Amino acid sequence: MDANSTLQAMLGVGKKYSIDVTDLRVLVLRVITLSVKFVSRDELWTSRFADGFVDWKLVKQLTNKNVLGGCGEWLGMLEFCHWDDLVKSESEIATAYPPLATLRRNMKECSLDTGDSEAWTPVCRALLLLLVQGLPCLSALEMLTCAQFKRNTRTGCVELLAKQVHRLTCSDTPSRSAHR
Amino acid sequence: MLDRCKVDVAKLEQTRALANATMEDKRLSLSLSRMTVVQGRPRLRDRVTSVLKTEERKIQVRAQSTGTGTHTRDS
């Protein structure tokens, strides 16, 4: 999705849920905060944007959906997000952010890692796509990686998701992995 | 992870400015095209002109008939 359409989608979210759109950087973070699954969105919002207003009544009406839209909108918005600084603290990530480190390792094994100094950016984008509610994981990962590597990455994305589930299963059931 | 996220605000602001400028340009173009159409419609202009001339002529004839006391019919 082009930059203008993405921006209009983001501003539309701000208008619909009564979010301040003056600071676009904060708007991006707020859209992400309102869209993640597995965590309490209002607790996450309160911890990060205590002074920020949002129409929670409307947000809570969204079940299994996110505030922004589909893969196009999310990939368009994530184009503006970068995590190049993470390369400076790579040694700490394994202990400080284990899910991120695991995802990077899995992406390397599936030939979906760029290996350069900006490699953490696609990894973080992939992790966010996996955490957004109502987004088809395989399609989102495919769109992200196909655009990056300019090739068909479907097989790699399927392997990546399988590895993510496998590692998750192994970490939850240590006795089962010992028997294997 | 959100703390370490760097957002390309410059590009976002540039996109917003461009979108606003495009909308303003479209609004002005639409206003200008409406003004041009109202001013340049020949039938409306001619109709208004002929009506005004007819009314003016009627006034002249009435003035003449009032002055002379004879009733004259307009052609």
Mean pLDDT of chain A: 88
Strands B6-7 and A81-82: antiparallel
Q: Are A138 and A157 in contact (CB under 8 A)?
A: yes
Question: pLDDT per residue over A50-109, tens digit each?
Answer: 888 999 999 988 888 899 999 999 999 999 999 988 888 888 888 888 899 999 999 999
Chain A residues lying within 8 Å of B11, measured CB to CB: 3, 80
| pLDDT given for residue A141 in this prediction | 94
Question: pLDDT per residue over B11-38, tens digit each?
Answer: 999 999 999 999 888 888 888 887 766 5
**Which stretches within B1-75 are classed as H helix?**
9-40, 42-68
| pLDDT given for residue A90 in this prediction | 83
Check CB contact under 8 Å for A84 and B6: yes
Query: Average pLDDT, stretch A111-120?
Result: 89
Identity of the residue in B2, B7, B18 whose CB atom sits nearest the CB atom of A80: B7
Identity of the residue in A3, A8, A48 whose CB atom sits nearest the CB atom of B11: A3
> A79-112 burial by CB neighbour count: b if 16+ within 10 A, else e?
bbbbbeebeeeeeebeeebeebbbbbebbeebeb
The pLDDT-based confidence of A26 (bands split at 50, 70, 90) is very high
Token couple for B42: 């020949």
Question: pLDDT per residue over B40-75, tens digit each?
Answer: 556 666 666 666 677 777 777 778 777 655 444 444
pTM (global) more than 0.80: no
The chain B residue lying nearest A2, using CA atoms, is B15
| pLDDT given for residue B67 in this prediction | 66
Chain A residues lying within 8 Å of B18, measured CB to CB: 4
> A14-49 burial by CB neighbour count: b if 16+ within 10 A, else e?
beebebebeebbbbbbbbbbbbbeeeebeeebeeeb
Instruction: Tell me the HSE value of A154 on the side-chain side, using a 13 A CA sphere.
Output: 2
Question: pLDDT per residue over A152-171, tens digit each?
Answer: 999 999 999 999 988 766 65
Amino acid at A22: T
Name the interface residues of A facing B (CB cutoff 8 Å).
Answer: 3-4, 7-8, 11, 24-25, 28-29, 32-33, 48, 80-86, 97, 100, 124, 127-128
CA distance A3 to B37: 35
CA distance A152 to A146: 6
